[in-house]
Chains A and B, each alone.
Chain A
Amino acid sequence: MTTTPARAPLIAADWLRPGTHISAVGSDLPGKQELDAGVLGRADIVAADLPAVAAVNGELQHAVASGVVDLDRVVALGALAADAATGRTTEDQITVADLVGLGVQGGDRGGRGGPPARMSVP
């Protein structure tokens, strides 16, 4: 789990062991980077909350720019949540989730006329 606003890679590709999962939540602007592009290249599954945005703002910006990762290969987290895409199938796979943050998640107002109990949380 990487949570820093770093602008240079913190994690190198050759550190990964089989079965590792990395969730990178730090990078949300062009220029930020926590994972070396090779980390994403080595991963068997690369997921992103919104692949198109992650390719500009997230960890994927470097990997896609350098051609290490094909954007078509990146799985949307929503597809995994809706079971429309295949997630981890073996214990040895290396998986990476690149989260840049969206404006979507959320639901409705809470009932009983009280304050909004659950809002859209961008």
Chain B
Amino acid sequence: MPPRRCAQRCWAPRWPRSCIPPTSTAAHSAQPCRWPTWSRWRGRPGVPVIVDAAYLSFPTALISDLVGSGADLVCFSAKYFYGPNAGGFLAGRTDLIEAVTDPDFTGYESGATSRSAGRPFKMDRTTIVATVLALQEWLTMDHDARWASYGRRVLALQAALADLPGLHARPAQFTLDERLIDAAPNALVLRPGSAAAATAMEDALATGTPRLLCVREGEELVVCVETVREATTRRWPSGCGRPRRGCRERRRRPAPERSSTASRVATALREELLAGLHAPGTPMRDVGAGGARGRRGHDARGPGRVGPPWTARPRPAHRGMEVARLDAADVRDIYAARLVIEQAGLVRLRATGTTAFAPSWTPRPTWPTPRTARTAAAPWRPTPASTTSSRERPAASGWPARTRRRCSSCGSCCRSPTGPTPPSTARPPPTGHWRSRCATGTRRRPARHWRLIWTRPGNGSAPSSAPRSHRERAQTPGTLTEDRIRQAVDPAAALAAVRQGFIALHEDRVTLPAILDFEFPEHHGEAHVKGAHIHGADHWVVKAAAGFFDNPEAGLPAGSGVSLVFSASTGFSDCVLLDNGYLTDLRTAAAGALSIELLARQDAGHALIVGAGVQARLQLQALLGVRTPQDVTVFARRPQEAVRYAEEMTALLGVPVQVADDLDGRRAVPISS
């Protein structure tokens, strides 16, 4: 296997145990990395290559890189992508994976019925659900935003400590192989001045409330912030039209504590144990635990059957836990933890519409049972509902919880995550605003029948003309104007997106229909309709873009266009992007920059731009993002355009731009970029 560089070019040559973990986009460098030299083992009979990839799950492209590297088995740990501690997943040869799953956890503990050699496969279905969820999140997560959030926390912490005399605090990155490097920070390094002071501080932090455990590095303490939660404040957009009665006050009031299914079952179990109803060794089958203790409906059924058959194979002979050497508190903890994770997992799997792990039983239309609906109109959730209404369903895939509110009258009108999104800031977008209307048209109290709807200008604010049903709303896409698109998408984002797009294309993960081309020779114009869907993406897009090159003479820009964004789950149009060709221009510039980044010499000193239109301007800007030429030359068939281009770009970019009056390289400038 020839030496390779990883997908993100971010690896030091040490491999695999001591390599520098890739951390953030900012930390990516152009250092080459040697792919492991396991090629000499490949193909030898009886010598499987097993890679302990542990934390090598970031950048996410690395996962597929490793899996496709020819190893027989690659093992990833879940805790490094924020999954459960005991979880992980394997990729590789089918026979090896089946061999691993064969001796399962419960098999060993079930005694003589199916004793196996050991317990290497410790994942129960709780852990599987949590691992799959964590991996799904990890693969779709905006990792730049993740790192940016660490930076924010570190800076907030540093600012809070700035006044303390004698304490030096600096941001740093604490890598997964436990080194401090100067890169995108995820930790604050405290230097109190002496080893004794550091010890005292470490002890004080470890015994305080809450307990803070630091990493000790000589005289320094490393405070990692990755698991620290940022404080959030919920703000409703002003003028959002929410019912005033109780709008703010109610939300600030903590939700009343209510006993969970887990705690009720656990209480019953504890009492039974203390009463001596269970002898040590008695199997307690968790599937029916709730029902056996007087719980009805979903409570009784419990989250027993989750996922496809392989996640919970029916093995009634030894399914469940044993009470040997467990006291009542242990049982309570185990049940509570298991139910918490499974409930949360189920709720979120349903919310995201994942079908692969849908429960095999049919959920009831109202969940949980109507008996408890008054106090628990939403599924019980593990997080303390101190700042959010108990009626809100958890947000999934970036959609805010308040648009997912469930109407108790029809029970179906607001489940689908389609339709326009409410504004995320206090300022509503210019094309409409949110109003509170009864979703069902019954206009009945209580207020949970009501939900936010999108009111567009022109429709007026009369309730009768606003879209009322989910169907209407889904068929009325939102609109984004060029200004908002320009705010949202910058060249750096475009370059990253274009790079991922090309990689997806190369990996055949794209549906890419043929391009429709139009020509309008009488106006020196052309138009193209293109569309694509990256498999797994939430949306698919069709774009119509035109270039009419006589337009500038009439004082109009040459390029124009519009993009239509559709939901990939329902097919409804979701958004109209009135970008006037901006996205097309940005994409083309980013593709040009990418081609230069990938192919041009690192030390390219001269750039020649042929053409002086919009694209020539964007291309030069994008080019300067990936190379630093000392001089730039422009040639255009209309010399006055070239002169104007040179003046504008020199002023804008600070790079001297010369004008060539001839393209012949022997008389003008070297042609290189």
Asked if A104 meets B505 with Cβ closer than 8 Å, knowing A99-B595, A114-B423, the reply is yes
Q: What are the interface flags for B596-610 relative to A under an 8 Å C-beta threshold, 1 for contact and 0 otherwise?
A: 101111011001111
Inter-chain CA distance A102–B636, complex, in Å, is: 26
Contact of A82 among B496, B506, B596 (CB under 8 A): B506
B88 at the interface (CB under 8 A from A): no
Asked if A122 meets B584 with Cβ closer than 8 Å, knowing A4-B611, A113-B421, the reply is yes
| Complex interface: chain A residues within 8 A of B484 (CB) | 115
List residues of B (395-417) whose CB comes within 8 Å of A's CBs: 395, 398-400, 403
Inter-chain contact A103/B497, CB cutoff 8 Å: no
Inter-chain contact B596/A109, CB cutoff 8 Å: no
B670 at the interface (CB under 8 A from A): yes
Inter-chain contact A103/B531, CB cutoff 8 Å: yes
B6 at the interface (CB under 8 A from A): yes
Asked if A87 meets B599 with Cβ closer than 8 Å, knowing A82-B503, A106-B541, the reply is yes
Inter-chain CA distance A20–B629, complex, in Å, is: 13
Considering the complex, give the chain B residue whose CB is closest to the CB of A88: B599
B51 at the interface (CB under 8 A from A): no
| Complex interface: chain B residues within 8 A of A53 (CB) | 515
| Complex interface: chain A residues within 8 A of B178 (CB) | none
Q: What are the interface flags for A84-117 relative to B under an 8 Å C-beta threshold, 1 for contact and 0 otherwise?
A: 1001100100010101011111111111111111
Asked if A122 meets B6 with Cβ closer than 8 Å, knowing A99-B592, A115-B421, the reply is no
List residues of B (504-562) whose CB comes within 8 Å of A's CBs: 504-507, 510, 512-513, 515, 517, 519, 526, 528, 530-534, 537-543, 545, 547, 549
Inter-chain CA distance A34–B590, complex, in Å, is: 20
Inter-chain contact A81/B400, CB cutoff 8 Å: no
Inter-chain CA distance A29–B515, complex, in Å, is: 11
Inter-chain CA distance A85–B592, complex, in Å, is: 18
Inter-chain CA distance A91–B480, complex, in Å, is: 45
Pick from A10, A11, A19, A23 the residue with the most CB of B within 10 Å: A23
Pick from B145, B505, B608 the residue with the most CB of A within 10 Å: B505
Contact of B497 among A15, A84, A101, A118 (CB under 8 A): A118
| Complex interface: chain A residues within 8 A of B586 (CB) | 121
Pick from A5, A11, A81, A111 the residue with the most CB of B within 10 Å: A81
| Complex interface: chain A residues within 8 A of B534 (CB) | 104, 106-107, 120
Contact of B501 among A47, A84, A102 (CB under 8 A): A102
Inter-chain contact B500/A107, CB cutoff 8 Å: yes
| Complex interface: chain A residues within 8 A of B599 (CB) | 21, 23, 45, 47, 80, 87-88, 95, 97
Inter-chain contact A113/B5, CB cutoff 8 Å: no
Considering the complex, give the chain B residue whose CB is closest to the CB of A113: B400
B499 at the interface (CB under 8 A from A): yes
List residues of B (1-53) whose CB comes within 8 Å of A's CBs: 4-7, 9
Inter-chain contact B498/A121, CB cutoff 8 Å: yes
Inter-chain contact B399/A121, CB cutoff 8 Å: no
Distance from A5 Cβ to chain B, minimum over Cβ atoms (Å): 6
Inter-chain CA distance A49–B246, complex, in Å, is: 56
List residues of B (559-606) whose CB comes within 8 Å of A's CBs: 563, 565, 575, 577, 583-584, 586-588, 590-592, 594-596, 598-601, 603-604
Inter-chain contact A22/B142, CB cutoff 8 Å: no
| Complex interface: chain A residues within 8 A of B510 (CB) | 104
Pick from B400, B500, B584 the residue with the most CB of A within 10 Å: B500
- Stretch in contact with the other chain, from B208-216, B300-308, B614-622: B614-622
Contact of B526 among A29, A47, A102, A115 (CB under 8 A): A29
Inter-chain CA distance A121–B607, complex, in Å, is: 27
Q: What are the interface flags for A65-89 relative to B under an 8 Å C-beta threshold, 1 for contact and 0 otherwise?
A: 0000000000011111111100110
B323 at the interface (CB under 8 A from A): no
| Complex interface: chain B residues within 8 A of A99 (CB) | 588, 591-592, 595
| Complex interface: chain A residues within 8 A of B274 (CB) | none
Distance from B591 Cβ to chain A, minimum over Cβ atoms (Å): 5
Inter-chain CA distance A113–B666, complex, in Å, is: 56
| Complex interface: chain B residues within 8 A of A102 (CB) | 501, 505, 512, 530, 532
Inter-chain contact B480/A115, CB cutoff 8 Å: yes
Inter-chain contact A119/B583, CB cutoff 8 Å: yes
Asked if A21 meets B604 with Cβ closer than 8 Å, knowing A4-B637, A15-B666, A105-B497, the reply is yes
Contact of B499 among A45, A79, A81, A97 (CB under 8 A): A81
| Complex interface: chain B residues within 8 A of A59 (CB) | none
B98 at the interface (CB under 8 A from A): no
Inter-chain contact B587/A122, CB cutoff 8 Å: yes
Pick from B425, B539, B584 the residue with the most CB of A within 10 Å: B539
B429 at the interface (CB under 8 A from A): yes
| Complex interface: chain B residues within 8 A of A116 (CB) | 480, 488, 539, 565, 575, 577
B352 at the interface (CB under 8 A from A): no
Inter-chain CA distance A102–B511, complex, in Å, is: 11
Query: Can you list 30 pairs linking A and B with CB atoms under 8 Å apart?
Result: A1-B610, A4-B636, A11-B610, A12-B664, A21-B604, A26-B610, A29-B519, A47-B595, A77-B502, A77-B598, A78-B501, A78-B505, A79-B506, A81-B499, A81-B503, A81-B598, A83-B4, A91-B601, A99-B591, A104-B512, A107-B534, A114-B488, A115-B484, A116-B565, A117-B489, A119-B565, A120-B501, A120-B534, A120-B539, A122-B545
Listed in ascending order, the chain B residues whose CB lies under 8 Å from chain A are 4-7, 9, 61, 140, 142, 145, 395, 398-400, 403, 421-425, 429, 478, 480, 484, 488-489, 493-494, 496-507, 510, 512-513, 515, 517, 519, 526, 528, 530-534, 537-543, 545, 547, 549, 563, 565, 575, 577, 583-584, 586-588, 590-592, 594-596, 598-601, 603-604, 607-611, 613, 615-616, 619-620, 623, 636-637, 663-666, 670-673
9 nearest A-B residue pairs (beta carbon): A78-B506, A105-B501, A97-B595, A15-B665, A103-B532, A114-B424, A103-B530, A122-B543, A3-B611
